[in-house]
Amino acid sequence: MPELPEVEHLKRTLEPALVGARVERVHVYRTDVLRRAADGPGRSGLKRRPSGAALLQSSTIVDLKRHGKQLAIVSDSGAAVCVHLGMSGQLRYVPAGDVLTRTDHVHCQWSLKRSGAQGELLFRDPRRFGGVWMASSLAELEERCWSVMGPDALTISAAAMQAALKRTQRSVKAALLDQHVLAGVGNIYADESLFDARINPQVQASTLSAARVQRLHVALVSVLRSAVDSGGSTLRDYVDSTGAKGSFALKHNVYGRAGSECTRCGGKLVQIVVAQRTTVYCARCQKR
């Protein structure tokens, strides 16, 4: 599943094409991927096609916002749409004249015009774990959907992270994965950050000292920023708006490397299950 770095990189590749573009037409091919922000997160998809205005038709895109793993497209009318990529979702921008190599499983299509140039924004999601939320305003989206999530992992302070971890009796890995605690971190970057901070993923979060939380905070922000700069991690489906794959998987120290040598001490990396997720760590460097 795309995590914060993938969505942040996607946002940065979309901004030059989308900000300032007018939405000429909107085509919806599957209404069940659409949801209303007013209904809150987790609701089932719509059965009928909404009005074009609800999907930004005839308005101009003025901004892109991200919180955790979700990306919002904001228009001059005030309305916004929020895209969650789920496990296999892609948001692709295709300039006029270019051909998308895969046109199957395209559920929504926005026809755009910007400074005379035309293009198509396509939401493609083969497994349909993602979706598009429609909001009358960014404020409504933030209140109804984003407010139930924790602080964004790139902007949270060390003090706020310590306070959040102190409130849970779960393992630190489980806490990092909980989007209500911290928005944006998934399995890849939880494992990588804990390795960088030399913290065992099974340690109870509330027992971490202020110094260890500070170390974890530094590691987490560093890993996320490095991943954003590398275009994220492509393991299977993820590509950015241009179709480019992320290269951060080449820099993974632990994720997906069970049984390999630790890049730091040379020991054998161990694979276990924490919070029902496959977890890889170094038993030497990340002692309990």
Please indicate whether residue 50 is annotated as part of the active site. no
Of 8-12, 102-106, 152-156, 223-227, give the lowest mean pLDDT range: 102-106
Please indicate whether residue 3 is annotated as part of the active site. yes
Query: Strand 131-135 to strand 34-36: parallel, antiparallel, or no bridges (unpaired)?
Result: parallel
Query: Strand 131-135 to strand 70-75: parallel, antiparallel, or no bridges (unpaired)?
Result: unpaired
- Span 158-282: which CATH code? 1.10.8.50
Q: What angle do CA 192, 180, 173 make, to 5 degrees?
A: 30
Confidence (pTM): 0.94
Please tell me the predicted confidence (pLDDT) of residue 103.
73
- Span 4-148: which CATH code? 3.20.190.10
Neighbouring C-alpha atoms within 13 Å toward the C-beta of 284: 10
pLDDT in tens, 229-254: 999 998 877 888 888 999 999 999 99
Res 100 pLDDT > 90 = no
Write down the mean pLDDT value for the chain.
94
Q: Do domains 4-148 and 158-282 have the same CATH topology?
A: no
Please indicate whether residue 35 is annotated as part of the active site. no
For the chain, domain boundaries: 4-148, 158-282
Determine contact, residues 221/230, Cβ cutoff 8 Å.
Answer: no
pLDDT in tens, 53-68: 899 999 999 999 999 9
Q: Give percent of the chain with pLDDT exceeding 70.
A: 99
- Which residue of the set 11, 66, 69, 124 is catalytic? 69
Q: Say what angle helices 210-229 and 158-166 make with each other, to 10 degrees.
A: 120
Nearest alpha-carbon partner for 135 in 66, 63, 83, 62: 83
Rounded mean pLDDT, 24-34: 95
Rounded mean pLDDT, 108-132: 93
Say whether 236 sits in a helix, a strand or coil.
Answer: coil
At which residue do the structure tokens 């779960």 appear?
A: 170
pLDDT band at 87 (very low <50, low <70, confident <90, very high): confident
Please indicate whether residue 11 is annotated as part of the active site. no
Q: Where does the chain have alpha helices with state H?
A: 4-18, 138-144, 158-166, 172-177, 187-196, 210-229
- Which residue of the set 49, 128, 277, 284 is catalytic? 277
Residues 55 and 39: their CA atoms lie apart, in Å, by 16
